[in-house]
Each structure stands twice: as C-alpha cells, then as structure tokens.
Amino acid sequence: MQSNTSTVSIQRAMVRGVEKFCVWTKISGKRKRAFFDEAAGAVAYRDQILRQLSAKGTESFAESGKTVAEGWREFQMLRLPKLRGSNARLVQWWIGHYVEEQGRMPLAAVSPRDIDAFLAKKEWSGTTRQQGFVYLRLFYNWLVRYEHLDRSPVQRAERPQAAPVHHLLTVPQVQRLIGLTSNCDRMRAWLVLGVFGGMRISEVGRARPEHIEEIEIFVPQTKSTDPVPRSRFVPILPALKRHLPKSWDCLSEDHIKRARTALAHEMGWDEWPQNCLRHTSASMHY
C-alpha cells in the first residue's frame, strides 16, 4: 500500500530457515523492516503504520534511527546464520563486545573515532585489533548494504597494524621452538609442518596423520577461499621427517590458539608473528 510518497507492504521472508512475515516500509526515503511469526501480527502492524501516516503524516516517524544494538539484532537474525565455523564464532565475540560498549549509540552517530577508540585497548595485540577491524567492517558493510547507513564509519577508521617483526625465524629460534614443543605432539606437528613443510595455516589445520605417505603429504584442500577445493602434495624433506610425530590431535585454529600464544610468550614475543613458519620455510630454499 502507498500513502503519498510512503510505501508499506507485507512480504514473506526466510529467517534462519523459518518462514516469517516481513513488513517493509519506506517513509521519507528511509526503509525499515519488521518480522512477525504470524500474518495477523504483520497485518496489525501495517495497519497501525497506515493510520499513523494518515493522521500525523511522515513527520511523526522522524527519529534518530536504529541504534547499534538494534542493527546487531537484525544482523544476528538475517546474516549470522549464513556464516560458518570460526567466522560465526568470531563475529559474535567481536560485535557482542562492541555492542556492550557502544550499543546505545544511534548508527548514524557512530564515527571513525568511535571505532578507533574501541580497538585501542592496551590488552589487545596488533593482530587481535586487526581481526576486530575485519569483523567490524563486515558488520557495518552489511548495514550499508541494507540501507541502515549511508556510509560505513569503519572505512574512515585507522586500520590496526600487526607487529612487523619476527616474520623470518633464525636457526636458534627454530631450534628453541623445537625444544619447547618436545612434550606436545600436537604443537610439534603444527610447528614442523609449517616451518619444514611450508604448509599454510589452513592446510596445517586440516592435516591428519593418515595424510602422511612415504615421501609426501597429501593436502586435501590448499586454500579455504578456493571456490573449488584443490589438493596438492607436499614433499617430506629430511628435517620434516626427523621431527614430525607419528600421531597428533586436531590442529585447527580453535585447538592450538592458546598453546601458540603461550609459545610466543616463552620466546619473549608479545604475539605470534603472522605467517612466520611458512615464510621461514620459503627462505630456506634460497
């Protein structure tokens, strides 16, 4: 239905695999949605909006807009169910913490300075802040796409930088890391598959003892971002054969994250240097 330049309609929508009734409104150029389990609720809400438009006009709908918390609730209902694995877990962790601090702010009032302030916590490393920036960008880009905002404040915020040191390990550092992992097959396998096998983090996370053959390692999928999974074989060099344990538990990010941080602290580092194992492996061939 249309009232002057405003539009109010009811449509069916799938939310988390459940069919719901959605009331779409466009008033003074602003689009909004409300979801209902039953058609009767949607019809009643639509009629209420039409009566308000008829009696008081579009000025009665003037407001400061959705808050950050309200935008997050819509994201949880519509976008979050499409995310999988660690992405779903991490976006909930990051945006959940962000909403605790800035949830009451109107979305339109959020500035790049607010984003910078949230990510500036001293207890977070550069890599951790960089991860938070990525998930805040995901959240705000979705809000822009669905016209809750004209422009994302994250685009103008300062992107955190991970620590630039320690990307290439020295021979003494590699020797010490081997010593520190002598009592843990999981971390020893994670370490040597990277530094002596040159495997990506995603490849190591999927590596299982049954993938180890006589002279090479079968990698079922090289990159998580590949549209079509591609496999490859990694040659087992003498150093890898010498240090690789016969068995280990799961090497996924969720399982090794804390142990890796503890290993970094043992080495005197504030955080684990990004991609240092694969980069160090590549440098050994020159």
pLDDT in tens, 54-100: 876 766 555 556 889 999 999 998 899 989 888 899 999 999 999 99
Both tokens of residue 192?
Answer: 């040597």
Q: Is the pLDDT of residue 147 over 70?
A: yes
Over residues 4-10, the mean pLDDT reads 79
Average pLDDT over residues 246-250: 88
Dihedral angle, C-alpha 157, 163, 167, 172, nearest 10 °? -170
Pairwise pLDDT comparison (166 vs 149), residue with the higher score: 149
- Residue 229 burial (CB count, 10 A): 10
Asked which of 121-130, 169-178, 244-253 is least confident by mean pLDDT, the reply is: 121-130
Segment 40-47 mean pLDDT:
80
Mean pLDDT of 102-115: 87
Give the pLDDT confidence score for residue 60 in this predicted structure: 55
Residue 69 tokens read as 């918390």
Give yes or no for residue 256 having a pLDDT over 80.
yes
Closest CA to 78 of 136, 143, 23: 143
Number of CB atoms found within 10 A of residue 7's CB:
13
Banded model confidence at residue 228, pLDDT cuts 50, 70, 90: low
pTM (2 decimals)? 0.48
203: Cα separation from own chain's centroid:
19
Q: Of 125, 97, 93, 158, nearest to 273 (Cα)?
A: 125
Query: What's the CA gap between 152 and 38, in Å, rounded?
Result: 34
Give the model's pLDDT for residue 168: 84
Q: In this predicted structure, which of 20-29, 68-77, 93-102, 177-186 has the lowest mean pLDDT? A: 20-29
The helix (run of H) or strand (run of E) holding residue 142 is: helix 126-145
**Cα 232 from Cα 166, distance rounded (Å):** 28
| Mean of the per-residue pLDDT values of the chain | 84
Mean pLDDT of 266-281: 86
> Which range is least confidently modeled, 40-54, 66-80, 124-138, 169-183?
40-54
Q: Give the model's pLDDT for residue 208.
A: 85
* Residue 286 confidence (pLDDT): 46
> In the chain, what are the helix, strand and coil shares in percent, each to the nearest 5?
50, 15, 35
How far is the C-alpha of 17 from the C-alpha of 81, rounded, in Å?
9
Residue 260 burial (10 A CB sphere; 0-12, 13-18, 19+) = middle
